[in-house]
A and B are shown apart, each in its own frame.
Chain A
């Protein structure tokens, strides 16, 4: 009975990109909150912004990878939705397409979250 682990793995892939968004969001918020509360010596705001900028780049790259995997699972778009046939193939195409859509949303959401880093130059207060 080897069905189960494979299944659970592939169900989770749907959530990859949103999970990346969640970690990126936490990194930005927690990083800045800690910095603003404790103001550690040897770390200034711009360094932290650069660091979180790097985190943003990594997050976006991870989402792109997830999107590519999803695109592959979707058969590189050779079939059109709705993917509602009662076959394993359509089930996989559906998963690929839904994952691809979620990767797109997560990509945009990561950029949204990172924008304050670009525009806000301090903790205030």
Chain B
């Protein structure tokens, strides 16, 4: 065989491999395209939908500004004005700021980490469809004059009163709960993806900073969103069934909502800000043409901000009459968070000083945004001081502050990211000229709109008033703000035009037009396979430091260059040193994700309108779809135990337990679930704190039933541990018997938990004490019910011959669920059964 022959054969092999990969990763034709679960498509759809919602909310802001342009204006009615600003805030926060980062992450992370796909592609798709449906539901309400109108933080008692807030409040609560589910799904996907799916060799000291930030942000979501979900549950129970959680006359307290909302709401600001800064951490080194200065300092800043941001929530509640000593703790923490925030900005400045900066459009947006953000940060330091906040609270000063923070810290960096990463979508850059025009319109318009609001606020104009009388010093400031808002909007319009204008006459540029050093630029926009072969990484900026890398990747010289078995595959690596441990088969195109998301959406919509039977029907469809999804798409038993992934490496195709991505997915989900539960327990003790006798003389659930329930739940847990052990010995009959025993114990535990409050006739409408006991019990029962479904599922798998010692992922993940269920049961039952005795 001559060299020429060998060369031809290699070429032929290569073409064959590429054909395989293309076939395996292709999207279905026609309408089937929408069943795609590929990260590239999901990322794009997610991002486009979030941008569309942003434009919608922007139009609402313009309506608000028109109304406020002149005194005594009647452009909008007071009620429509309320709906417009409520929806503006809600949509910008929940439908744009958080989802856009999920979109960018889903789109960018796989190529950036050198992975072919994130570990749970169908979960991403499910999250997207949930988000889209929930978003349309919430946004659409304003066209029926039914939008929420109580402000984006929905304070009771205004929002719990059906006379003041119609169905809008329900739409807010249920629509957004649905979207929060999507966010938690994204958090699971991102954490597992970043920890377990990095290219071999990409140790944690080489991880792109974007991934570091996203890891922290996803962790924050797990602890920030669940308190809001818990709050939503209490709120909706009050609106739907008159359980008096926030009604002072029956022992409730509106402040509990403020606590739960802001335990979510303040970290949320950083959940929005950190990913945007993460984009800057990718953009700045490229245009400074050197590695970032102070990589470890960025990690410090990301982790430090992530933690400290949870100690700030009460600074939104400085005027609620809490003890000043409490306020001072939060004031101190609010000042402390300025340290890590400042570190990031200094790192960027240092990187720019140390390199030779190319002032491109992304840098323009990035640095302009940082300048705006710094002003917002400084006013933030001001209002973190209690005495200043008492003056500025609920005035336009706060409106100015929060827009400086969010637009400078989030929107500008996102636009920078759009200009920077656009070539990854279609190999063509956006226009420099359009970009510069857009930047200056947005920058000038923004400052013209929002800077005067500082003064309007200090002159006493409260936020959320729909009009004001003339001659009290607010007139021309408001007019300026309105003019600025339209200039700003014109800038946004230029960006939109630049993005959507046809570009087929523009020649396709090179793959890496900015000469960036990070791995996401290996992505091939024409191909769906993510990376052609999974590389070995030995640098933070592999495209700068590893010569020939792109060519080697594209020639298939690294891992998994083929898809011989016709399956979508990626590598799983170890957390710290990224050593390959598994060849993971991920889910492909599926309709089940859409059906699950739409039917779950149906449940939430039905609940909003109190269509109980429809709700139950949709619930049944959701359950069936999710079970079908699990049955067909998870715990896939491979046709052979191992696979040659190339370069002489053979990896197992099946792993269960703490090394597997499925176990991690369950663990992370349950951490979020546990946080929501913790928030409900916090509610119980909150009521105990504020009342001399929080039971108000009402009988509790007694001790006998809760303790009986406790015993059964603990016995159920031990039975599950035994079942896992017996299954390891491959004794199928024993495993099945133990699963049945565990289900009996769990069902018994749930019934006994119910019997406590039931037998003492605790009436949840009478007072907050029975109501909070019932909520905890219902939470436990719901989890026991989910556990039962899991048990029956394992039993069914066993009967189908798909649960054995070798293939035990289902059982191990269910046992993990049981650990959390047991903690929930022990906590709930001790709190409701024993605490009333001990107080």
Q: Which residues of A does B touch, CB under 8 Å?
A: 1, 3-5, 7-8, 10-11, 14-15, 18-19, 21-22, 25, 28-29, 32-34, 36-38, 81-84, 86, 88, 90-91, 93-95, 97-98, 101-102, 105-106, 108-109, 112-113, 115-117, 119-120, 122-125
A1: contacting residue among B303, B306, B576, B659, CB under 8 A: B659
Given contacts A19-B307, A84-B205, A112-B333, 17 further A-B pairs with CB under 8 A are A4-B575, A4-B658, A7-B577, A8-B658, A10-B576, A18-B307, A22-B311, A36-B323, A37-B690, A82-B540, A84-B540, A91-B576, A97-B296, A98-B300, A120-B324, A123-B325, A124-B323
* Chain B minimum-CB-distance residue to A101: B300
Looking at the complex, which one of B296, B311, B689 makes contact with A38 (CB distance below 8 Å)?
B689
How close is A77's CB to chain B, nearest CB, in angstroms?
A: 13
Min Cβ gap B330→A in Å is 8
CA distance A82 to B296 in the complex (A): 7
B339 with A108: CB separation less than 8 A: yes
Which residues on A sit within 8 Å (CB–CB) of B322?
Answer: 33
Q: Is the CB of B336 within 8 A of A108?
A: yes
Bound-state CA distance A109–B538 (Å) is: 36
CA distance A91 to B308 in the complex (A): 25
**Residue B328 contacts which of A25, A34, A120 (CB distance < 8 angstroms)?**
A120
In the complex, the answer to whether B323 meets A32 with C-beta atoms within 8 Å is: yes
8 Å CB interface, B647-697 against A: 658-659, 689-690
Q: Is the CB of A125 within 8 A of B321?
A: yes
Q: Give CA–CA (A120, B322) in the complex, Å.
A: 14
Q: Are A82 and B295 in contact (CB under 8 A)?
A: yes
Whether B175 sits at the interface, judged by CB under 8 Å, is: no
Interface members, chain B 198-242 (any A CB < 8 Å): 201, 203-206
* Nearest chain A residue, comparing its CB with the CB of B658: A4
**Residue from A3, A37, A97, A102 within 8 A of B574 (CB atoms):** A3
**CB neighbours of A112 from chain B (8 A):** 332-333, 335-336
Q: B360 interface residue, CB < 8 Å from A?
A: no
**Residue pair B575, A8 in contact (C-beta under 8 Å):** yes
- The answer to whether A7 and B576 have CB atoms under 8 Å apart is yes
List the 10 shortest-distance A-B pairs measured between CB atoms, nearest first.
A116-B328, A86-B538, A94-B205, A18-B307, A124-B324, A101-B300, A123-B323, A36-B323, A112-B332, A91-B203
**B303 to chain A: which residues have CB within 8 Å?**
14-15, 18, 98, 102
A-chain residues with CB within 8 Å of residue B300 when the two chains form the complex: 98, 101-102, 105
Do B575 and A11 touch across chains, with their CB atoms under 8 A apart? yes
B802 at the interface (CB under 8 A from A): no
Residues of A contacting B336 in the complex (Cβ-Cβ under 8 angstroms): 108-109, 112-113
Is the Cβ of B323 less than 8 Å from the Cβ of A95? no
B537 at the interface (CB under 8 A from A): yes
Is the pair B296, A91 in contact by a Cβ cutoff of 8 Å?
Answer: no
Residues in B whose Cβ lies below 8 Å from that of A33: 322-323, 326, 689
Cross-chain contact A113 with B333 (CB below 8 angstroms):
yes
A7-B574 contact, Cβ under 8 Å, with A82-B291, A84-B540, A86-B537? yes
Q: How far is the CA of A38 from the CA of B537 in the complex (A)?
A: 58
- Flag whether B304 is at the interface (Cβ < 8 A): yes
Considering only CB atoms, which chain B residue lies closest to A36 in the complex? Answer: B323
Do residues A90 and B205 form an inter-chain contact, with CB atoms below 8 A? yes
A69 to B333, CA, bound (A): 25
Give the distance in Å from the alpha carbon of A5 to the alpha carbon of B333 in the complex: 33
Q: CB of B310 within 8 A of chain A? A: yes
B332 touches A113 (CB 8 A): yes
What are 20 A-B pairs with beta-carbon distances under 8 A? Answer: A3-B574, A7-B574, A8-B575, A18-B303, A19-B307, A29-B330, A82-B291, A82-B295, A86-B201, A86-B539, A90-B203, A90-B205, A95-B204, A105-B304, A105-B340, A108-B339, A112-B332, A113-B329, A116-B329, A123-B324
Name B329's contact: one of A28, A88, A124 (CB within 8 Å).
A28
Q: Which residues from chain B contact A15 at a C-beta distance below 8 Å? A: 303, 307
Does B579 have its Cβ within 8 Å of any Cβ on chain A? yes
B-side contacts of A21, CB under 8 Å: 307-308, 311
B626 within 8 A of partner (CB): no
B262 CB to nearest chain A CB (Å): 13
Is B297 located at the chain interface by the 8 A CB criterion?
Answer: yes
A-chain residues with CB within 8 Å of residue B308 when the two chains form the complex: 18, 21, 109
Smallest beta-carbon distance A48→chain B, Å = 10
**Cα of A106 to Cα of B303 in the assembled complex, Å:** 11
- B479 within 8 Å of A (CB atoms): no
| Chain A residue contacts of B540, Cβ below 8 A | 82, 84
B785 within 8 A of A: no
CA gap between A93 and B295 in the complex, in Å: 13
- Alpha-carbon distance between A44 and B204 when the two chains are bound, in angstroms: 49
* B299 pairs with A98, CB closer than 8 A: yes
A71 to B339 Cα, complex, angstroms? 21
Report B197 CB to chain A, min CB distance, Å.
15
Chain B residues whose CB sits within 8 angstroms of the CB of A90 once the complex forms: 203, 205
The answer to whether A4 and B659 touch across the interface, beta carbons within 8 angstroms, is yes
**1/0 per position for B518-539, CB-CB distance to A under 8 A?**
0000000000000000000111
**Bound-state Cα–Cα, A97 to B658, Å:** 28
Q: Complex Cα distance A61/B772, Å?
A: 39
- Asked whether, in the complex, the Cβ of A124 is within 8 Å of the Cβ of B333, the reply is no
Contact A32 B326 (CB under 8 A): yes
When the two chains form their complex, are residues B311 and A4 in contact, meaning their CB atoms are under 8 A apart? no
Tell me the residues in window 565-592 of chain B with beta carbons closer than 8 Å to chain A beta carbons: 574-577, 579, 581
Chain A nearest CB from B685 CB (Å) reads: 9
Q: Is the CB of B296 within 8 A of A120?
A: no
Given the known interface contacts A3-B574, A15-B303, A91-B577, the answer about A37 and B689 at a Cβ–Cβ threshold of 8 Å is: yes
A31, B575: Cα distance in complex, Å: 38
Question: Given A14-B303, A91-B203, A98-B300, is A81 in contact with B295 using a C-beta cutoff of 8 Å?
Answer: yes
Question: In the assembly, what is the distance between CA of A91 and CA of B333, in Å?
Answer: 31
In the assembled complex, which residues on chain A have CB atoms less than 8 Å from the CB atom of B306?
18
Q: A115 contacts which chain B residues (CB < 8 A)? A: 328, 332
- Evaluate whether A98 and B307 lie within 8 angstroms (CB atoms) in the complex, with A37-B689, A112-B333, A125-B321 already known: no
Across-interface contacts of B577 in A (CB, < 8 A): 7, 88, 91
- Whether B204 and A4, one on each chain, are in contact in the complex, defined by CB atoms closer than 8 angstroms, is no
- B658 near A29 with CB under 8 A, answer no
B335 touches A86 (CB 8 A): no
Smallest distance from the beta carbon of B284 to chain A beta carbons, Å?
15
Q: Distance (Å) between the CB of A66 and the closest chain B CB?
A: 13
Report A-chain residues with C-beta under 8 Å of the C-beta of B330. Answer: 29
Nearest residue, chain B, Cβ from A33: B326
Residue in contact with A105 in the complex, picked from B204, B339, B690, CB distance below 8 Å: B339
- Minimum distance in angstroms from A31 CB to a CB of chain B: 10
The contact string, 1 if C-beta is below 8 Å from chain A, for chain B 305-323, is: 0111011000000000111
